[in-house]
Structure 1
Amino acid sequence: MSRLAGPVRVGGGTAPSRVLFGPHETNLARGRALADRHVAYYRRRAEGGAGVIVTETASVHPSDWPYERAPLAASCGPGWTSIVDACRPHGTLVIASLGHAGGQGSSAYHQSALWAPSRVPDPVSRELPMEMEGPEVAAVVDGFRAAAALAVGSGVDGVEIDAGQYSLLRQFCSGLTNRRTDAYGDRGRLLREVLAVVREAIGDRILGLRLACDEGAPWGGITPETAPVPGGIDYLVPVRGSAFADARPDLRTEPGFNLDLCRTVSGRTLTVCQGSVVDPALAERALEFAGLVEMTRAQIADPDLVRHLRAGTAPRPCVLCNQNCRVRDPRNPIVSCIGEPGSGHETEDLVAGAGGGEVLVVGGGPAGLEAARVLALRGFDVELTERADRLGGMVRVAARLAGRDRLARLVDWLEAEVRRLGVRISTGVETRAGDGRPVIVATGSRPGPRDYAVEGGRVLDVVAVLDGATLPDGPVVVHDPLGDWTGAGVAELLAAARPVAIVSPDPVIATQVRDIAGVNARLQRAGVTLVKRSRLRVVRRDHVVVEDVLTGERRELPCGVVIHCGHRLPDAALSGTTVGDAVAPRTIHEAVLDGRRAAVAL
């Protein structure tokens, strides 16, 4: 059996596996209390074999309200008890995460000044916090004590103190944010005081610490050499990042980016390896120096990760896209996953009984593959036809964009599953009509309309380009009215071989992408000309005409070919149950969810 799937001693308890499900924002709370949705969410990971579950970080004091549905420890007692009751039958250790976001929080909800060690504005929000005085410091220490006592009184196996990337305790430990000249100018003092009162409150229960050990700012921040690793804790989760460095990178960063840091600080206590560890083989290697491995996103993608390890089967992969699992967002989306839309929705997840009979699925993209997979699991005799020579649909196209190749792993897994389940597959087949069987139509999308004139110039759709269409000579102009990954990705991809300009109506490129700064920096390094606040108006043989969206001023750009990255339209010519892009071109998440819903409803 995989060592990762085997038991490990943690403090005074034993975890059934070495896989930890770490604390993260979920937006599952009702008010500021852990809710029934949390209980179902954590129960599902315990059923799947998680050894340790650390619940969503709860604020230890009302002065901390970092996002609208952030749990408040004083309101979490019943929720912690329910989570423990749900996870206990599976042997999973339940740890309550406790923290305070300090100057990295938000004043939008409690409408009061943010608390921080010094008057240093947060580089992200630019908000200037108040400098904590003695009473505020004492209130925070007592808040940690009271929250820890409540947590263990509610039945949890221990607590984890958050001194990580987004925490007041990190801010006190860092020269970037702590400029005090009083006793707390000793930057590790508050952390030591908090750990001391928490240990007193919880007795021999497990005490873990999530500690920022590298802020990515060596000129004044915490470094691996200066990280204040204390004694008296049962485990340590060393993390990287701060307001100056992303702590949760996406698929452009190789998995395991934090392994060297974890190795550096290991050996002082039981170490939990953290940092985009989503591949079981990588997690196994991390056990050379770590006692547990945090695989949070991997278990959002497949709650049965540990079960798969024990059975020797392949879990659904996490592609590290951050699209549905990173939810600290004013819209309050529920945590989920592009490949496992049931994550976060366990109280309403689709459940279907056994079925029978024949079903035809037309289209082998993510919607069609998921529909075929679920139908086959239910017992239907499924045939899947695909007009292209390969399954995967638009996901395979998207995976050809710069830095997006991991996306293909999801459709690779779906294809392997439908083949394992005995689905009959035909590729290179154009299906134009059903034959009496129920039909699920997952035929995808086609290019949409163009809102500019073409007067002798050459225009290619981005899908054709990514599928290998030959480009004529000359400069490339990427028409990007959407501002998503597509335009920026194809511009970066092509800039290695020829001059490229990207035209966007927005004040910055890729406004719909979370990593706006990173995208724009990469485009500039690649030499792409950023034509912002402009609309494409005319395409001619050797140039295009663009128009400023505010002033109406027009200018010309040299151009040999325009790559159109605009909206697409549904391509559903068959009658049947239509899913995915054949309903409305959207994201992978909606395509998979549509496919699953159709398969369950049949």
Structure 2
Amino acid sequence: MQLLSPLHIGDRTAPSRVMFGPHVTNLGADDRSLTRRHTAYYERRASGGAGIVVVEGASVHPSDWPYERAPLAAECTDGWSAIAAALQAHGALAVASLDHAGGQGSSAYSQAPLWAPSRVPEVNAREVPKWMEADDIDAVIAGFVAGSARACAAGMDGVEINAGQHSLVRQFMSGLTNHRDDEWGTDKLHFARRVIEAIRAGGLSEGCVLGLRLSCDELAPWAGITPEMAPAIAVELAAAGLDYLVVTRGSIYSVEKTRPDFHEGTGFNIEVCRAVRAALRAAGHEIPVFLQGSIVEFGQAEWALGGYDDDALADGIEMTRAQIADPDLVTKLRHDAGDQVRPCTRCNQTCQVRDARNPIVTCVGEPTSGRETEDPDWYEPTSSPQTVNVIGAGPAGLEAARVALLRGHRVQLIERSDALGGAAAVAGPHGELIEWYRREHERLGTPIHTGVMSLDDDPNAVWVQCTGGQPGRRDYSVADDAVPLLDVLDVRRGAELPEGIIVLLDLIGGPIAVSLAEELGDRAVLVTQDNIAGNELSRTGDLAPANSRLAQQGVTIERRSIVRAITAEGAVLEDRFNGERRTIACAAVVDCGFRLPTDPIDGVALRAGDAVAPRTVHEAILEARRVAHSI
């Protein structure tokens, strides 16, 4: 596979063409330094075969403090040194990402004004930044040089300048954010060019490589960088002294498009990457070009490298989320075990952590991601093999059975329905993950009994309950002659909806009701107690896109409303603020609300997932591991 072949970048050689790109982890310390958690996190990807690992972006100047645990280059020397040693021991290249968020930052931590090319308000906070003066510009450029010198002195193989999302460099390049009429505005590439040239002249030790992460489509054609402009920009900046370039997209108005979830197709930067690479080659710049953009499947990555038809559009592939989901992706490919690669479902539920909660990066399907220094070896062989009967084959049951089996126990999986996966198989984005579990249990030879609730088996067997949840309490009345009332999971399992208007009750504000509403289109009336539909989707970056999709599909949204009754006429709603009631006429009502655990099974002491408390797939898989490890 081309994906597994070495890649020459300047004077360095990466063992594979797979990049683990920079992203917010929240693994940092209060003093803005890199920690041993960072080292373990990145080393895990290097040990799994990543060719290039780009560390979380470090602010090059104290004026930039974009999130609480954002690294500061001046505090990163020791961390970079530890990371470099750990990664290089596995043959991977260690690259430091250098950054300044500019007007997309935050003043909450620094209590100082934001710096930006022009006085364009930050989109979310509406904060107006300070127009950078000559001394400010010189200080930031000097910060890039100093950060580069520190990284190279610490043993890193190179540095990468961020001109992608949350980037002052990109803000200088864009008409969206640069309204200046001086030399920094009339030539919008001047700042980026100066940064590259300054680092090349005084920030790199011999052999260190210099890369650029470049937004090639700001998705704002009225003033931003467009795909048509990107090839010429790339050529000009490459001439300033680059060793590689990563093609990305996004701007102040499209942060959610930089790393979108499963609603958007994979490989969305393919065509602009092809054009950029062709322009660089035509201009005589043979530097590697990396494709970024939801590339999570190795078949697509190999195709992009020309592995199937020799028509390459990139030289390397950034597969960041794919390696959060499975750190051993490259190693498995080297051993012809591609079917064993745990899929990334692009849910963004736990790997996107730039929010007010300050969670640590992890993965729904691989909860040890980000917890490498804390979690035990889940697969530690048992010294006392036992018979383990797992009841319920949803995510929790599938993972408990898998881990127990790999530890050496004799495992049987029991599922009362005829299908594996529970709710995750029919609702939400995790169907690929359930299919991976099916393949894994087939490979491992797990005895699976469907259509049964229990087994007459070894009386000394250990029983584990993973039976999921059941519909929760309904705080509304239902008349005897009411329109049909259905549970959302029954609908997802095939229960037919009548023709006409369907009211969806969403007390959670998550993706389940929103996705069904999208499918029903103008037949759907989505009832939410919040001021906006899908309130919890803000955590995954899908809040604005989801509401845009709902509007495009003609979905009616009843906001700030609580259902009080289901009658023959439809759903009776009450306004949360003034108490006024109104009836929404409909053909059926679908409850997409909270769930409760299934009833405990007598004599079963071990439980995991929704059988303990209904939450997400992440908690189900994590608790399943803990239970299996405890046996």
Q: Please, what TM-score do these two structures have when normalized by structure 1?
A: 0.97
SS at match of 2:89: helix
Aligned length: 593
Larger deviation: 134-143 or 539-548? Answer: 539-548
Task: Tell me the residue number matched to 2:69.
Answer: 69
For each residue in 1:283-314, what CA deviation from the matched residue of structure 2 results, as whole angstroms up to 9, or x when unmatched?
00111121110000000000000001111112
In structure 1, list runs of 5 or more residues that go unmatched.
none
SS at match of 2:614: coil
Aligned partners of 2:159 and 2:210 also within 8 Å: yes
Aligned partners of 1:64 and 1:102 also within 8 Å: yes
Aligned partners of 1:150, 1:259: CA distance in 2, in Å?
34
Aligned partners of 1:436, 1:446: CA distance in 2, in Å?
29
In structure 2, list runs of 5 or more residues that go unmatched.
281-286, 306-311
SS at match of 2:220: coil
For residue 436 of structure 1, report the CA deviation from its aligned partner.
2.8
Task: Tell me the residue number matched to 1:5.
Answer: 4
- Map 1:274-289; keep pairs closer than 5 Å: 274-287=292-305, 288-289=312-313
Question: Structure 1 residue 266 and structure 2 residue 292: aligned?
Answer: no
Aligned partners of 2:215 and 2:247 also within 8 Å: yes
**In the alignment, which of 471, 487, 506 is matched to residue 513 of structure 2?**
487
For residue 433 of structure 1, report the CA deviation from its aligned partner.
8.2
SS at match of 1:371: helix
For residue 212 of structure 1, report the CA deviation from its aligned partner.
1.1
Question: Structure 1 residue 376 and structure 2 residue 376: aligned?
Answer: no
For residue 67 of structure 1, report the CA deviation from its aligned partner.
0.4
Task: Tell me the residue number matched to 1:532.
Answer: 559
Task: Tell me the residue number matched to 1:586.
Answer: 615
For residue 470 of structure 1, report the CA deviation from its aligned partner.
2.2
For residue 576 of structure 1, report the CA deviation from its aligned partner.
2.7
Aligned partners of 2:439, 2:177: CA distance in 1, in Å?
50
Task: Tell me the residue number matched to 2:43.
Answer: 43
Aligned partners of 2:223, 2:35: CA distance in 1, in Å?
40
Aligned partners of 2:216 and 2:225 also within 8 Å: yes
Aligned partners of 2:497, 2:162: CA distance in 1, in Å?
52
SS at match of 2:426: helix
Aligned partners of 1:170, 1:20: CA distance in 2, in Å?
22
Question: Structure 1 residue 212 and structure 2 residue 182: aligned?
Answer: no
Task: Tell me the residue number matched to 1:110.
Answer: 110
Aligned partners of 1:25, 1:112: CA distance in 2, in Å?
22
Instruction: Report the residue type matching 1:168 in the other structure.
Output: L
Instruction: Report the residue type matching 1:376 in the other structure.
Output: L
Structure 1 ranges of 4+ moved more than 4 A: none
For residue 120 of structure 1, report the CA deviation from its aligned partner.
1.1
**In the alignment, which of 208, 222, 227 is matched to residue 225 of structure 2?**
222
**In the alignment, which of 390, 393, 402 is matched to residue 422 of structure 2?**
393
Task: Tell me the residue number matched to 2:204.
Answer: 202
Aligned partners of 1:233, 1:274: CA distance in 2, in Å?
18
Task: Tell me the residue number matched to 2:449.
Answer: 426
For residue 171 of structure 1, report the CA deviation from its aligned partner.
0.5
For residue 484 of structure 1, report the CA deviation from its aligned partner.
0.7
Question: Structure 1 residue 320 and structure 2 residue 346: aligned?
Answer: yes
For each residue in 1:434-459, what CA deviation from the matched residue of structure 2 results, as whole angstroms up to 9, or x when unmatched?
74300111011111110111112121
Task: Tell me the residue number matched to 1:27.
Answer: 26
Aligned partners of 1:207 and 1:235 also within 8 Å: yes
Instruction: Report the residue type matching 1:417 in the other structure.
Output: E
**In the alignment, which of 320, 327, 331 is matched to residue 357 of structure 2?**
331
Question: CA 1:173/1:27 → structure 2, altered by over 3 Å: closer, same or farther?
Answer: same
SS at match of 2:56: coil
Aligned partners of 1:184 and 1:190 also within 8 Å: yes
Aligned partners of 1:127, 1:79: CA distance in 2, in Å?
32
Question: Structure 1 residue 450 and structure 2 residue 474: aligned?
Answer: yes
Aligned partners of 1:289, 1:544: CA distance in 2, in Å?
54
For each residue in 1:234-266, what CA deviation from the matched residue of structure 2 results, as whole angstroms up to 9, or x when unmatched?
100011111122211100111111111111101
Task: Tell me the residue number matched to 1:80.
Answer: 80
SS at match of 2:359: coil
Task: Tell me the residue number matched to 1:294.
Answer: 318
Task: Tell me the residue number matched to 2:309.
Answer: none
Task: Tell me the residue number matched to 1:477.
Answer: 503
Task: Tell me the residue number matched to 2:248.
Answer: 239
Task: Tell me the residue number matched to 2:625.
Answer: 596
For residue 364 of structure 1, report the CA deviation from its aligned partner.
0.5
Question: CA 1:473/1:3 → structure 2, altered by over 3 Å: closer, same or farther?
Answer: closer
Question: CA 1:472/1:212 → structure 2, altered by over 3 Å: closer, same or farther?
Answer: closer
SS at match of 2:574: strand
- Map 1:510-525; keep pairs closer than 5 Å: 510-514=534-538, 515-525=542-552
For residue 487 of structure 1, report the CA deviation from its aligned partner.
1.4
Aligned partners of 2:396, 2:246: CA distance in 1, in Å?
38
Aligned partners of 1:369, 1:549: CA distance in 2, in Å?
41
Larger deviation: 588-597 or 216-225? Answer: 216-225
Instruction: Report the residue type matching 1:412 in the other structure.
Output: E
Task: Tell me the residue number matched to 2:284.
Answer: none
Task: Tell me the residue number matched to 1:347.
Answer: 373
- Map 1:84-103; keep pairs closer than 5 Å: 84-103=84-103
Aligned partners of 1:178, 1:79: CA distance in 2, in Å?
34
For each residue in 1:512-546, what CA deviation from the matched residue of structure 2 results, as whole angstroms up to 9, or x when unmatched?
11222221222222222111111111111122211
SS at match of 2:43: helix
Task: Tell me the residue number matched to 1:439.
Answer: 463
Aligned partners of 1:376 and 1:418 also within 8 Å: no
Aligned partners of 2:248 and 2:293 also within 8 Å: yes
Instruction: Report the residue type matching 1:580 in the other structure.
Output: G
For residue 85 of structure 1, report the CA deviation from its aligned partner.
1.2
SS at match of 1:375: helix
Aligned partners of 1:53 and 1:94 also within 8 Å: yes
For residue 473 of structure 1, report the CA deviation from its aligned partner.
4.2
For residue 214 of structure 1, report the CA deviation from its aligned partner.
1.0
Question: Structure 1 residue 408 and structure 2 residue 431: aligned?
Answer: yes
Aligned partners of 2:83, 2:251: CA distance in 1, in Å?
30
Aligned partners of 1:392, 1:87: CA distance in 2, in Å?
37
Aligned partners of 2:270 and 2:313 also within 8 Å: no
Aligned partners of 2:249, 2:199: CA distance in 1, in Å?
24
Task: Tell me the residue number matched to 1:142.
Answer: 142
For each residue in 1:352-397, what CA deviation from the matched residue of structure 2 results, as whole angstroms up to 9, or x when unmatched?
4212121111110101111111111111111001011011111112
Aligned partners of 1:55, 1:301: CA distance in 2, in Å?
17
SS at match of 1:136: helix
**In the alignment, which of 571, 577, 590 is matched to residue 598 of structure 2?**
571
Q: Please, what TM-score do these two structures have when normalized by structure 2?
A: 0.92
Question: Structure 1 residue 546 and structure 2 residue 573: aligned?
Answer: yes
Task: Tell me the residue number matched to 2:394.
Answer: 365
Larger deviation: 279-288 or 259-268? Answer: 259-268
For each residue in 1:317-364, what CA deviation from the matched residue of structure 2 results, as whole angstroms up to 9, or x when unmatched?
001010000110111100000000000000012214212121111110
Instruction: Report the residue type matching 1:289 in the other structure.
Output: L
SS at match of 2:516: helix
Aligned partners of 1:471, 1:88: CA distance in 2, in Å?
58
Question: Structure 1 residue 176 and structure 2 residue 172: aligned?
Answer: no
SS at match of 1:376: helix
SS at match of 1:359: strand
**In the alignment, which of 524, 528, 537 is matched to residue 500 of structure 1?**
524
Aligned partners of 2:507 and 2:592 also within 8 Å: yes
For each residue in 1:194-226, what CA deviation from the matched residue of structure 2 results, as whole angstroms up to 9, or x when unmatched?
111111220441000001111111111112332
Aligned partners of 1:413, 1:118: CA distance in 2, in Å?
49
Instruction: Report the residue type matching 2:439 in the other structure.
Output: A
For residue 432 of structure 1, report the CA deviation from its aligned partner.
7.8
Aligned partners of 1:444 and 1:572 also within 8 Å: no
Aligned partners of 1:46, 1:509: CA distance in 2, in Å?
41
SS at match of 1:306: helix
Aligned partners of 1:544, 1:19: CA distance in 2, in Å?
53
Task: Tell me the residue number matched to 2:262.
Answer: 251
Instruction: Report the residue type matching 1:237 in the other structure.
Output: V
